[in-house]
């Protein structure tokens, strides 16, 4: 099986566990191949954690889950130096925390205060952790997948802009349709029956090797990107910083524009989207397909937009409409 077939098999395997969320599954794969971190937001019970666990189960990778709570400490995430008594006397040795894994699920990340959230910053951006002046590199395959609920205000700490900008995409999960929910009921019932028949032990899932991920990344990195498409991505991001030049409405709605990380994210995620669709070049349609996920957590809406009932999705839709295609 080629590495492209491996990636397709991985996406299909995740889709079997997550009914009616094909777009979410595709974005999990895009984030993995783009070597980025994902923020997944949805109402409670919409299979955010299940989707991430499904990807980890079908990938040859170390998986760890961190439940973020108000009493969590940064050292609970990164690890710390631990005192040991040796033959040569007392020494301190670094004991890695749960952050040292290939796939890290930061569950309900907005339930921990800023000092704990910031413990992820260095690892997400520089792929390393510094403790007591010593730098500890992360694995070659490293990805943070954070979840949060959008409606709970009690005991939550909204992520600051600096933290949000380090997520390559923000993925939204919505309610399933009635037909999909029927399939969800049947799927969970069949899983429970299988577990009972096998004495509580589930069959070992088919796992995709990490080498397939790295091979796909190398091919994606070689995709052709024409100069007009590069300029289109730059103009799209520049429009978020000076929206009044293109639209009076956007100028009134957008208060905070996107950083250069947004341009890089459009390029990386757009190339993955093109590759998954069998193209060896980046098309403007690929950029438009990933733009909402790349931009929705990087833009700041004004009070005027909130007062008019304008949400982020409407702003991004208007933005894509006014920036000319190459």
Mark which of 161, 196, 231 sits at the end of a domain. 196
Q: Per-residue pLDDT tens for 85-107?
A: 777 778 888 888 899 999 999 99
Contact 167, 36 (CB under 8 A): yes
Query: How far is it, in rounded angstroms, from Cα 100 to Cα 87?
Result: 28
**What is the DSSP-derived secondary structure letter of residue 144?**
E
Number of structural domains (the chain) is: 2
Query: Predicted confidence band at 199 (pLDDT cuts at 50, 70, 90)?
Result: low
Residues 148 and 244 in one domain: no
From the list 312, 292, 282, 291, the residue with the least C-alpha distance to 300 is 312
At 104 the pLDDT is: 93
- pLDDT tens digits, 233-242: 999 999 999 9
Out of 128, 161, 196, a domain closes at: 196
Residue 212 lies in a domain: no
Which of 1-5, 78-82, 142-146 reaches the highest mean pLDDT?
Answer: 142-146
> Each residue of 11-65: pLDDT tens digit?
998 888 888 888 999 999 999 999 999 999 988 778 888 888 889 899 998 999 9
Q: At residue 206, does pLDDT exceed 80?
A: no
Tell whether 21 and 140 lie within a shared domain: yes
pLDDT tens digits for 226-277?
999 999 999 999 999 999 998 899 999 999 999 999 999 999 999 999 999 9
What kind and span of H or E run contains 126?
helix 121-126
Residue 123 counted as domain residue: yes
- pLDDT 10s digits, 113-126: 888 888 888 889 88
Q: Domain containing 43: what range? A: 3-71+102-196
Query: Mean of the pLDDT values across residues 209-215?
Result: 93
156: in domain: yes
Q: Is 11 strand, coil or helix?
A: helix
Residue 45: CB atoms within 10 A of its CB come to 10
41 and 160 part of one domain: yes
Mean pLDDT of the chain: 89
pLDDT of 30 reads 96
């Amino acid at each position: 099986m080629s590495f492209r077939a491996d990636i397709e098999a991985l996406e299909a395997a995740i889709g079997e566990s997550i009914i009616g969320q094909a777009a979410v599954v595709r974005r999990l794969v895009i984030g993995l191949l783009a070597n980025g971190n994902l923020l997944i937001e949805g109402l409670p019970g919409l299979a955010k954690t299940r989707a991430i666990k499904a990807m980890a189960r079908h990938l040859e990778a170390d998986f760890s889950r961190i439940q973020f709570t108000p009493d969590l400490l940064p050292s609970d995430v990164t690890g710390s130096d631990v005192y040991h008594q040796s033959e040569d006397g007392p020494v301190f040795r670094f004991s890695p925390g749960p952050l040292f894994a290939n796939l890290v699920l930061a569950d309900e990340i907005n339930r921990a205060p800023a000092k704990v959230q910031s413990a992820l910053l260095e690892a997400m951006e520089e792929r390393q952790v510094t403790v007591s002046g010593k730098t500890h590199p992360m694995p070659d395959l490293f990805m943070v997948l954070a979840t949060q609920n959008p409606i709970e205000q009690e005991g939550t700490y909204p992520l600051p802009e600096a933290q949000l900008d380090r997520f390559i995409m923000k993925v939204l999960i919505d309610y399933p349709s009635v037909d999909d929910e029927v399939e969800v009921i049947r799927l969970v019932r069949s899983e429970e029956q299988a577990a009972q028949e096998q004495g509580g032990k589930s069959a070992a899932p088919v796992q995709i090797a990490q080498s397939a991920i790295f091979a796909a990344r190398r091919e994606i990195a070689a995709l052709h990107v024409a100069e007009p498409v590069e300029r289109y991505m730059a103009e799209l991001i520049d429009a978020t910083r000076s929206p009044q030049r293109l639209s009076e409405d956007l100028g009134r709605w957008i208060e905070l524009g996107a950083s250069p990380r947004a341009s890089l994210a459009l390029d990386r995620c757009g190339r993955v989207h093109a590759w998954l669709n069998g193209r060896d070049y980046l098309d403007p349609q690929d950029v438009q397909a990933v733009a909402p996920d790349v931009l929705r957590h990087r833009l700041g809406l004004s009070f005027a937009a909130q007062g008019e009932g304008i949400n982020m999705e409407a702003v991004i839709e208007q933005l894509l409409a006014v920036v000319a295609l190459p």
